[in-house]
Structure 1
Amino acid sequence: MSHSISASAAGANEFRRDINGLRAWAVVAVVLYHFGIAGFGGGFVGVDVFFVISGFLMTGIISKGLQQGDFSLWSFYLARARRILPPLVLLAAVLLLVGWFILMSKEYEVLGGHVRRTLFFASNLRYLNESGYFDLDAHEKWLLHSWSLSVEWQFYLLLPVLLWAVWRFFPSRRTIIGIHAVLLLVSFGICVTLTLSQPPKAFYLLQSRAWEFLAGGLLFLLSENLKLSRRIRNGFEWLGFALIASAIVLLDASSLWPGWLALLPCSGAILVILAQHEGSPWTGGSVAQWLGSRSYSIYLWHWPLVVGLAYCEKLDDPIWMFSGLVATLLLGQLSYALIEIPTRRGLQGVAPRWATACVLLAVLPVLTMAHLVRLYDGFPERLPATVIDIEAQIDNRNPRRSECLAKESGCVFGGESLKALLIGDSHAISVVTAAQAALPDSHQGIQFKGVSGCLIVFGAKDIDEKEPGPPCAHLVEGLERGVQAQAADSVLPIIIVNRTSMYALGVNEKIQERQQGRPFVFFSAPSETASPAYLEEFRRHYVATACAIARQRPLFLMRPIPEMIIDVPHAMAKAILMGDRREVFITKEEYRKRHAFVWSIQNEAQEQCGAQILDPLPYLCDDEVCHGSKNGIPLYVDDDHLSEFGNRLLVPMFAKAFASMRDAGEPLAHRQATEVAR
């Protein structure tokens, strides 16, 4: 956010200490929120405060220029670029330089794309197509905070053109006020609607954020000559800060944002600006003024430091967190003193064409480097061979994953004479090729049916969707109908592979928009925790499902695959790039603690109805630990999905299973495979 622009008592010419101090409060809220400081769960509202401030200042500059007849679009844009771009270009250059040494090729390629979008002020559109701002993988995006700069610059591009065009035909202050009011209402309506239906769009798009800028602009237009008593102004200031503080304290990443809730910080900012309390202890002190003047540079540098701490797995360490905050202030001061001030003063009296040339000369080399990073796939040749080998495992997934997951008719792996049906979720697709490799004869095959995030238990409903998604519902209901009808293919064995502990107990790693320990499914009523009553209901349905299938055909239940909790290839590669080596593993005790419940219900299904158990532990674990790698190569593509390299360790397990299966169903299986192929 370009909040280093001078304000005035009227909004355009003279410095206003109260607005500068308000910037300080906004940037402190954002920084402390991103560093995870307790009590600042809603600190992201500082961005909304900045938007109101920017709208107030920009409308002041534009409207005064129009009224005085000396407004220049080119001068306006050049002034914004002169203030915004130099510190941003420096940050982008530093990140590209640092990334050369510490990022894998795909990460570096992504950074190049983000730098390019950031310098074109379109990063908000890029991040909209990726995951959300509040997701955990946000900590992998070094320039995520640039989304607000992009929204702000887009506003800067459009508003002056609109007001200038309208002024030419209707040179009236009342017309400008009317335009602001109408656009504000339209934008606010879009914001509320999108927040309910498509929250990422509401968060990232200008059309749902413009009302915050326009609110600041309307404030300037309506309050320029407004006279208020000291008592009223003091009351406005107190109320304004109370609204901002309540938003910071009461909101968090789970809040439906922005929507109507954004009225809290925006209204607070409006009241503080309207109070115009120059001698306020809240905004006029030396600390607030120091922070406010450097708020832009502080904002720019804080987020890469947050990402850097997350990259080094130090973000939860209080000492490192404090060091990051100190570094934020230090880098903010250096950027302000060495970049912001010199470029602002140095280009102040330069002719527009030469000032433009200087800005372009600063931007083009960084843009060129970002383009080359994308063009040459992140320059993998700069990396050690060991890192290249490790990174290759990230993409070493089942090559038919996209084709076969959620495909209603399923896929056949191997020959047309089916030996078994392997059914489940993404863990199932990650091991099916190992099962194929274990088949006794090359003419034999495995029919696969699976849906990512789909628990193979009759009656299970997604706790967020309230019903299973259509592909999952079709898969489970089709299996249930076949069992109830005692289908003729009942001799074909079934192998069920699920990440069952996740559905019952929730995730045990940090995952996008998922609370640790919160179940994924329910049966009679949703439960926010894996309570004894909930687990008992889960047990009944799991065992009933297993027994219903086992009565009709041979059933094999695979024990849970060890979950490494952290991304194995990334952790190993990062360690090497940082000059270290790392073996990722979990202890056997950690595995047993995580999966004890699932083992117990699988054992119950075995005892009650003869379901057979496939245990991957002898192949993935030794006496003490379960390994995430073998001979320096990751066994996983992430934290819990086996790679095609890793799943080969399970071939002997599947071979034992096939050796115990009956051959009676193979003629029928051949006919089924022909139907699937059609």
Structure 2
Amino acid sequence: MGGDVPRISAAGAGGEGFRSDINGLRAWAVMAVVLYHFNVPGFSGGFAGVDVFFVISGFLMAGIVVGGLDGERFSLPDFYLARARRILPALIVLVGVLLVVGWFLLMPREYQTLGKHARESLLFSSNLRYLAEAGYFDVASHEKWLLHTWSLSVEWQYYLIYPLVLLVLAKLLPGRRALLGAHVLVLMASFVLCQVLSTGKPSQAFFLLQARAWELLLGGIVFLLGGRLRPSGRGVALLESLGIALVVAAIVLIDAGARWPGSAALLPTLGAALVLLARRQGSPWTGSGLAQWLGTRSYSIYLWHWPLAVGLVYFELEQAPLWVGAGLMASLLLGHASYALVEVPARRWLAKKSNVRNAVWLVACVVVVAVSAQLVRRSGFPERLPEAVARIEAERHNRNPRIDECLAADASCIYGGKQVGALVIGDSHADAVVNAVAASLPGAEQGVYFKGLSGCLTVFAAQWAGEGSRDECAGLKKELAAGLDKLFPGKPIILINRTSLYAMGELPAPGVKNPGKPLVYFSRPAATQTPEYLEEFRRNYVESVCQMSRQHPLYLVRPIPEMPDRVPQVLGRAMLLGKQGEVSITRDEYRQRHAFIWAVQDEAAQRCGAQILDPLPYLCDREKCYGSRDGWPLYVDDDHLSEFGNRLLVPMFAQVFALLAAQAPH
């Protein structure tokens, strides 16, 4: 979220005096980002502030590196240490404070996530971590307390590479003309890559240095051209005003639905470039006392505002105007405190030390906090929670104890007694309830034969359209198609899949990149549920069911209700905060999600002689389907029943064996 607001001095690059315009431009950028993240109306494109910061940073880096090379005084270790002194102290303190606060506020899974993100933030690789998890504008962003550090990582990666390239160029092709040409060529390549990725892979365009480098290089080009382009008189004011207008246009006219950073990112970047070219000191746009105060503290304000915005969402206060106002004020106050008590003292204290001691102190502090974050990531420390909260949250582990052994393509497991009384076939939803099937058998000597694989739809012709390989699934289905007739013939098969997921795609939720996209296909992958796709799915599902029912009585389980969030986490968090927690969906939401699969199952039952098992009477009332019973979670996450929850279905499965017993000859 937002961008690095680098604590590089606003002193002019290349030996100029203090640049109040740069400091003031920072103020514009940081307030745009802050107001956007607190959902203040009129700042729908405030995220463009990151692009302004990238241009500023590129300008200042070029000034430091090129200026040093021109004077033959540039030192790579000094450059890296200077960047570390500016960025690390305030970041280390922020991460440390969040780890302490998280100890008291966060559930173990949330705390583990914070630890992982804290570690990546300190190692300046968080942009790659967030790229792997979800997009910048996804709902999940408000669950990530350090998401805004992605831009620090992008800039630090740039800091590592940029001076090395310029050092090589200065030796091979000395002179600013060659440097300018190199900046232009790489900028063009990065810009083209950015446009391509923005269309097909927007998260990569947003988070990767390769797609963002053109913005930083634009700042470098402004520096290199600055000596030749010196507007004067009214031209200075016009140039600056045009630049500010472009930045404001981006902030006001763009929103999160834009293809970003696509061509629209030219608005704030060119605007920032024009302000830097104008060099207008004492401007009413950038030179006011307020702008200078904000600009000086912009990095610390930026660091602290996002955790406060996430905190409002965590406590469900993001829609309360008074709390939003308090969050904005706290961002300024904590930003000032960080600047006055951390940034400035640390910079002055480290400036008195040698380079070696600078490096030792900074590395030591990073290691201490990063190791602490790693310990949090690995454990989550559930023992820190009140006992009642810990017991509820621990239900996320109350899954089938044989899941690792049995939920595998090459595994065949029997649950219960050795005398097989039924077969359970399916995916992880089958694994989640197989013990309930075993518990429903009429005799202790009877058992359940289980065959299943996570993410594997038991429709023989279905091919995987999602990410990653599903060769194991294909092998499992081939084995079943060839040998199922001879596998305990006459014994009932209970088929359990999360079938709607494969046909209708994932529901919109935190971390979901392509909601609604089918996860399997037959003739060709489909982006949506076209009539042709649904017809293919229906036909192949029915064919598979008919094939499985040739030598076995077959029972099709209706889809298990999917909850909108992880049940143990929501209930535990609510208890921790002294609130009543409930996770549920309405019957209408359930019907809307699963209507197609119900119709397909009904057709398969009619044509193939299969029977239907409906879990809704056991998990729902007339209005809602619930994620808990008497305050206790029924699920380990948002869609898999726990070993506690699956026992509610024992009466449903018992009907299978009661019916078979009634039909048996006496």
Cα deviation, 1:57-115, whole Å, max 9, x if unaligned, reads 01102222222233333433333222212221221121111111122334334433433
* Structure 2 equivalent of residue 429 of structure 1: 431
Give me the whole-angstrom Cα distance separating, in 2, the residues matched to 1:357 and 1:536: 62
* Structure 2 equivalent of residue 330 of structure 1: 333
Counterparts in 2 of 1:641 and 1:368: CA distance versus 1, 3 Å: closer
Give me the whole-angstrom Cα distance separating, in 1, the residues matched to 2:263 and 2:75: 35
Answer whether contact 1:56 1:220 (CA < 8 A) is retained: yes
Q: CA deviation at 1:145?
A: 1.5
* Structure 2 equivalent of residue 672 of structure 1: none
User: Partner of 2:147: helix, strand, or coil?
Assistant: coil
Among 380, 389, 392, the alignment partner of 1:387 is 389
Counterparts in 2 of 1:619 and 1:238: CA distance versus 1, 3 Å: same
Superposition map of 1:64-143 within 5 A: 64-143=67-146
* Structure 2 equivalent of residue 577 of structure 1: 576
Answer whether contact 1:30 1:45 (CA < 8 A) is retained: yes
* Structure 2 equivalent of residue 308 of structure 1: 311
Counterparts in 2 of 1:345 and 1:406: CA distance versus 1, 3 Å: same
Answer whether contact 2:20 2:286 (CA < 8 A) is retained: yes
Answer whether contact 1:45 1:247 (CA < 8 A) is retained: yes
Among 162, 166, 171, the alignment partner of 1:163 is 166
1:17 aligns with 2:34: no
Give me the whole-angstrom Cα distance separating, in 2, the residues matched to 1:122 and 1:517: 30
Superposition map of 1:149-548 within 5 A: 149-164=152-167, 166-167=169-170, 171-188=174-191, 191=194, 200-228=203-231, 236-237=239-240, 240-241=243-244, 243-244=246-247, 248=251, 257-258=260-261, 262-278=265-281, 280-345=283-348, 352=355, 359=362, 363=366, 365-367=368-370, 369-374=372-377, 377-398=379-400, 407=409, 411-414=412-415, 420=422, 422-440=424-442, 442=445, 444-450=447-453, 452=455, 454=457, 493-499=492-498, 510-513=509-512
Cα deviation, 1:10-43, whole Å, max 9, x if unaligned, reads 5554232332233233223333443445665554
Give me the whole-angstrom Cα distance separating, in 2, the residues matched to 1:564 and 1:114: 26
* Structure 1 equivalent of residue 149 of structure 2: 146
Answer whether contact 2:549 2:610 (CA < 8 A) is retained: no
User: Partner of 1:228: helix, strand, or coil?
Assistant: coil
Counterparts in 2 of 1:599 and 1:577: CA distance versus 1, 3 Å: same
1:58 aligns with 2:61: yes
Cα deviation, 1:243-282, whole Å, max 9, x if unaligned, reads 5456556665565554666445433432332233445554
Give me the whole-angstrom Cα distance separating, in 1, the residues matched to 2:446 and 2:392: 34
Worse overlay, 237-246 or 537-546: 537-546
Cα deviation, 1:572-603, whole Å, max 9, x if unaligned, reads 22123334553544566765676677657656
Q: CA deviation at 1:215?
A: 2.3
Worse overlay, 383-392 or 581-590: 581-590
Q: CA deviation at 1:431?
A: 2.1
User: Any gaps of 5 or more consecutive residues in structure 2?
Assistant: none
Cα deviation, 1:117-164, whole Å, max 9, x if unaligned, reads 322333334444444444433333221221211221232233234434
Give me the whole-angstrom Cα distance separating, in 2, the residues matched to 1:238 and 1:477: 68
Q: CA deviation at 1:629?
A: 3.1
* Structure 2 equivalent of residue 642 of structure 1: 641
Give me the whole-angstrom Cα distance separating, in 2, the residues matched to 1:427 and 1:254: 35
Counterparts in 2 of 1:443 and 1:383: CA distance versus 1, 3 Å: same
User: Partner of 1:227: helix, strand, or coil?
Assistant: coil
Cα deviation, 1:503-543, whole Å, max 9, x if unaligned, reads 67776662434687888789999999999x89997997699
Give me the whole-angstrom Cα distance separating, in 1, the residues matched to 2:526 and 2:319: 29
Equivalent residue letter for 2:387: A
* Structure 2 equivalent of residue 675 of structure 1: none
Q: CA deviation at 1:349?
A: 5.8
Give me the whole-angstrom Cα distance separating, in 1, the residues matched to 2:284 and 2:98: 38
Give me the whole-angstrom Cα distance separating, in 1, the residues matched to 2:322 and 2:539: 47
Worse overlay, 280-289 or 535-544: 535-544
Q: CA deviation at 1:638?
A: 1.5
Q: CA deviation at 1:55?
A: 0.9
Equivalent residue letter for 1:497: I
Q: Percent identity among equivalent residues?
A: 53
User: Partner of 1:431: helix, strand, or coil?
Assistant: helix
Cα deviation, 1:446-505, whole Å, max 9, x if unaligned, reads 34345528595988996x89xx977778888998x889xx97889664434344566677
Cα deviation, 1:390-442, whole Å, max 9, x if unaligned, reads 333223334565676683x7744447876555455543332233324434565
Cα deviation, 1:340-381, whole Å, max 9, x if unaligned, reads 344445555666566556656755653454355457x23333
Equivalent residue letter for 2:63: G
User: Partner of 2:47: helix, strand, or coil?
Assistant: helix
Give me the whole-angstrom Cα distance separating, in 1, the residues matched to 2:30 and 2:524: 43
Equivalent residue letter for 2:575: I
Q: CA deviation at 1:612?
A: 2.3
Worse overlay, 557-566 or 257-266: 257-266
Give me the whole-angstrom Cα distance separating, in 2, the residues matched to 1:242 and 1:310: 32
Cα deviation, 1:651-671, whole Å, max 9, x if unaligned, reads 232222233348999xxxxxx
After TM superposition, the score normalised by the length of structure 1 is 0.79
Answer whether contact 1:432 1:448 (CA < 8 A) is retained: no
* Structure 1 equivalent of residue 564 of structure 2: 565
Equivalent residue letter for 1:557: L
Q: CA deviation at 1:313?
A: 3.5
Give me the whole-angstrom Cα distance separating, in 1, the residues matched to 2:405 and 2:122: 37
Equivalent residue letter for 2:111: Y
Answer whether contact 2:91 2:303 (CA < 8 A) is retained: yes
User: Partner of 1:495: helix, strand, or coil?
Assistant: strand
User: Any gaps of 5 or more consecutive residues in structure 1?
Assistant: 666-678
Answer whether contact 2:13 2:60 (CA < 8 A) is retained: no
Answer whether contact 1:32 1:40 (CA < 8 A) is retained: yes
Worse overlay, 651-660 or 550-559: 550-559
Q: CA deviation at 1:322?
A: 4.0
Answer whether contact 1:82 1:347 (CA < 8 A) is retained: yes
* Structure 2 equivalent of residue 4 of structure 1: 7
Counterparts in 2 of 1:354 and 1:498: CA distance versus 1, 3 Å: closer
Give me the whole-angstrom Cα distance separating, in 1, the residues matched to 2:401 and 2:36: 40
Counterparts in 2 of 1:237 and 1:340: CA distance versus 1, 3 Å: same
Equivalent residue letter for 1:620: L
Worse overlay, 357-366 or 221-230: 357-366
User: Partner of 2:636: helix, strand, or coil?
Assistant: coil
Q: CA deviation at 1:52?
A: 1.6
* Structure 2 equivalent of residue 673 of structure 1: none
User: Partner of 2:509: helix, strand, or coil?
Assistant: coil
* Structure 2 equivalent of residue 47 of structure 1: 50
User: Partner of 2:656: helix, strand, or coil?
Assistant: helix
Aligned length: 657
Cα deviation, 1:188-242, whole Å, max 9, x if unaligned, reads 4555566667655544343443333222112211223312355665565455456
Answer whether contact 1:305 1:324 (CA < 8 A) is retained: yes
Answer whether contact 2:230 2:277 (CA < 8 A) is retained: no
